[in-house]
A and B are shown apart, each in its own frame.
Chain A
Amino acid sequence: MITAMMASSYNAKEEDGHHSGAAGHGGAGADKSRKPDNTAFKQQRLPAWQPILTAGTVLPAFFVIGLIFIPIGIGLYVTSNNIKEFEIDYTGVDSKSECYACARNFSWNSTTPCTCSMNFTLEQPFESNVFMYYGLSNFYQNHRRYVKSRDDSQLNGDPTALKDPSKECEPYRTSEGLPIAPCGAIANSLFNDTLELHYVDSNGTKVEIPLVKKGIAWWTDKHVKFRNPNGNTNLTVAFQGTSKPVNWGKPVYELDPLDPENNGFINEDFIVWMRTAALPTFRKLYRIIQKKSSTTPTLPSGRYILSITYNYPVLSFDGRKRMILSTISWMGGKNPFLGIAYITVGSICFFLGVVLLIIHHKYDNRNTSADIPN
Chain B
Amino acid sequence: MEQLHWVRFRCQQLWAANHTQGWYSPPRPVSDKYSPQRSAGKRRTVLARWGPHQDEYHSISKAYKGNAIRTTKYSLLTFIPMNLFQQFHRAANLYFLFLALLNWVPVVEAFQKEITMIPLVLVLTVIAIKDALEDYRRYVFDKKINHNTTKVYCTKERDYIDCCWKDVHVGDFVRLSCNEIIPADMLLLHSSDPRGLCYIETANLDGETNLKQREVVSKMEEMEFVPEDFHWRIECENPNNNLCRFRGYMENPSGARVGLHNSNLLLRSCIIRNSEAVVGIVVYAGHETKAMMNNSGPRYKRSLLERQLNTDVLWCVLLLIVMCLTAAIGHGIWLKQLKNPIFEVGEETSPALAGFYVFWTMIIVLQVLIPISLYVSIEIVKLGQIYFIHNDVDLYNEHTDSRIQCRALNITEDLGQVQYVFSDKTGTLTENKMVFRRCSVYGVEYPHYDNGRRLEVYSADKEEAGRCSLTPRSSSRRKSLSCRSLSCNHSSVSLNTLTADSEEEEELSCTSQCRPSALAKEVVPDCELVTKLSWLCAPDLNVAHSCAKASSSLELAFITDFFLTLAICNSVVVSSPAQSLNVLPQAQTPLRSLEEIKLMFQRFNLSALPALPTLPPPLKSSLASKIFTQGKTGSFTVPKLAAEGCDQTPNPEHFSVNGVMDAPGEEEVPKLMFPEAAASEDAGAVEPEDTVLYEAESPDEAALVYASRAYHMTLKARSADSLQVELPTGGTVQVPLLHVLPFDSNRKRMSVVVRHPLTGQVVVYTKGADSVLMDLTRSPTGLQLAQNVYSHIRLQTQKHLDSYAREGLRTLCIATKTLEEEEYEVWLKTQLLAESSIENREELLLRSAQALETNLTLLGATGILDRLQEEVSETIEALQRADVKVWILTGDKQETAINIAFACKLLCPSDQLLTANCEDKESCAVLVQDFLHRVTCYVPDDSGTGSPSTGSPSTGSPTTGSPSTGSPSTGPPSTGPPSTGPPSTGPPSTGPPSRAGSVLVIDGHTLDWALQPELQGDFLELSKHCKAVICCRSTPLQKSQVVRLVRDKLKVMTLAVGDGANDVSMIQVADVGVGISGQEGMQAVMSSDFAISRFKHLRKLLLVHGHWCYTRLANMILYFIYKNVMYVNLLFWYQFFCGFSGNVMTNAWVLILFNLIFTSVPPLIYGVLDQDTPVDVLMAHPEFYQRTRTSKDYVSLMFWLNILDAFYQSLVCFFIPYFAYRDSDIGELSFGSPINSSALFIILLHQVVESHTLTWIHGLVFLLSAGSYFAFVLLLSVFCVTCSPPTNPLGVETMQMSQPAFYLVCILTTVTALLPRLMFLALKNSVTVRGAEQWSHSPSVRGSCPDVEPTGPVLS
Contacts and interface: CB of A to CB of B under 8 A. Distances in A.
A33 B339 CA distance: 80
B1162 to A, nearest CB: 15
B1141 A145 contact: yes
Given A276-B1228, A366-B1333, A140 B482 contact: no
B486 A34 contact: no
B1254 A156 contact: no
A22 B1223 contact: no
Nearest to A285: B1225
Given A363-B1327, A364-B1326, A282 B1223 contact: yes
A317 B482 contact: no
B1321 interface: yes
Contacts of B474: 33
Interface in A186-206: 189
A17 B393 contact: no
Contact of B479 (A17, A23, A69): A17
A37 B391 contact: yes
A177 interface: no
A367 B1326 CA distance: 8
A276 B1227 contact: yes
Contacts of B677: none
Contacts of B343: 139-141, 143, 146, 185, 189, 317
Interface in B1210-1264: 1216, 1218-1228, 1230-1232, 1248-1249, 1251-1257
A55 B1008 CA distance: 58
Interface string A271-292: 0001111111111110000000
Contact of A42 (B388, B484, B489, B1248): B388
Interface string A129-172: 00001010001111111111111110010100000001010111
B1223 A283 contact: yes
A332 B1138 contact: no
Given A276-B1227, A364-B1326, A35 B482 contact: no
B1294 to A, nearest CB: 8
A53 interface: yes
Interface string A323-365: 0000000111101011001100100110010001001100110
A33 B1253 contact: no
B1171 interface: yes
A25 B1286 contact: no
A133 B392 CA distance: 67
Contacts of A331: 1299-1301, 1304
A345 B1255 contact: no
A157 to B, nearest CB: 10
Given A33-B474, A283-B1223, A317 B1253 contact: no
Contacts of A15: 482, 486, 506, 510
A367 B1322 CA distance: 11
Report, as a range, how many residues of chain A touch the other chain: 35 or more
Q: Which interface residue of B110, B1145, B1219 has the most chain A CB atoms within 10 A?
A: B1219
B338 A43 contact: no
B1326 A338 contact: no
Nearest to A18: B482
Contacts of A31: 478
Contacts of B1230: 278
B388 A44 contact: yes
B342 interface: yes
Q: Which interface residue of B110, B343, B1249 has the most chain A CB atoms within 10 A?
A: B343
A313 interface: yes
A103 interface: no
Given A142-B1137, A152-B1285, A46 B1255 contact: yes
B1222 A279 contact: yes
Nearest to A20: B481
Interface string B490-501: 101100010000
Nearest to B1176: A374
A20 B477 CA distance: 11
Contact of B1325 (A54, A141, A330): A54
A88 to B, nearest CB: 14
Interface string A307-329: 00000111011110000000000
A14 interface: yes
B653 to A, nearest CB: 29
Contacts of B1219: 337, 341
Interface stretch (B48-56, B95-103, B1010-1018, B1307-1315): B1307-1315
Interface stretch (B84-92, B397-405, B638-646, B1119-1127): B397-405
A231 to B, nearest CB: 17
A57 interface: yes
A143 B342 CA distance: 11
B256 interface: no
B60 interface: no
A133 B1315 CA distance: 37
Contacts of B1174: 372, 374
B1221 A278 contact: yes
Contacts of A38: 393
Contacts of A312: 342
Contacts of B345: 143, 145-146, 149, 171-172, 185
Interface in B1179-1234: 1216, 1218-1228, 1230-1232
Contacts of B1222: 279, 281, 335, 337
A21 to B, nearest CB: 4
Contacts of A168: 1285-1286
A2 B493 contact: yes
Nearest to B506: A15
A276 B1225 CA distance: 9
Given A313-B342, A338-B1304, A10 B1252 contact: no
Contacts of A142: 1137-1139, 1141, 1143, 1145, 1228
Nearest to A10: B489
Interface in A201-228: 218-221, 224-225
Nearest to A48: B1253
Contact of B1249 (A53, A141, A318, A332): A53
Interface string A222-259: 00110000000000000000000001000000000000
A53 B1322 contact: yes
B340 interface: yes
B1169 interface: yes
A221 B1291 contact: yes
B180 interface: yes
A101 interface: no
A221 B1322 CA distance: 48
Contacts of A372: 1174
A65 interface: yes
Contacts of B1223: 135, 279, 281-283
Given A43-B393, A48-B1254, 11 more contacts: A2-B493, A36-B396, A43-B392, A57-B1322, A61-B1318, A140-B1138, A143-B1141, A151-B1285, A171-B347, A341-B1220, A367-B1325
Interface of A: 2-3, 5-6, 9-10, 14-17, 19-25, 30-31, 33-38, 42-44, 46-59, 61, 65, 69, 72, 76, 133, 135, 139-153, 156, 158, 166, 168, 170-172, 185, 189, 218-221, 224-225, 247, 274-285, 312-314, 316-319, 330-333, 335, 337-338, 341-342, 345, 348-349, 352, 356, 359-360, 363-364, 366-367, 372, 374
Nearest 3 Cβ contacts at the A-B interface: A278-B1231, A220-B1291, A317-B341
Interface of B: 110, 179-181, 204, 271, 276, 337-347, 361, 388, 390-393, 396, 398, 401-403, 474-475, 478-479, 481-482, 484-486, 488-490, 492-493, 497, 506, 510, 1137-1139, 1141-1143, 1145, 1169, 1171, 1174-1175, 1216, 1218-1228, 1230-1232, 1248-1249, 1251-1257, 1281-1282, 1285-1288, 1290-1291, 1294-1295, 1299-1301, 1304-1305, 1308, 1311-1312, 1315, 1318-1319, 1321-1323, 1325-1327, 1329-1330, 1333
5 contacts: A17-B475, A145-B345, A171-B347, A189-B342, A278-B1226
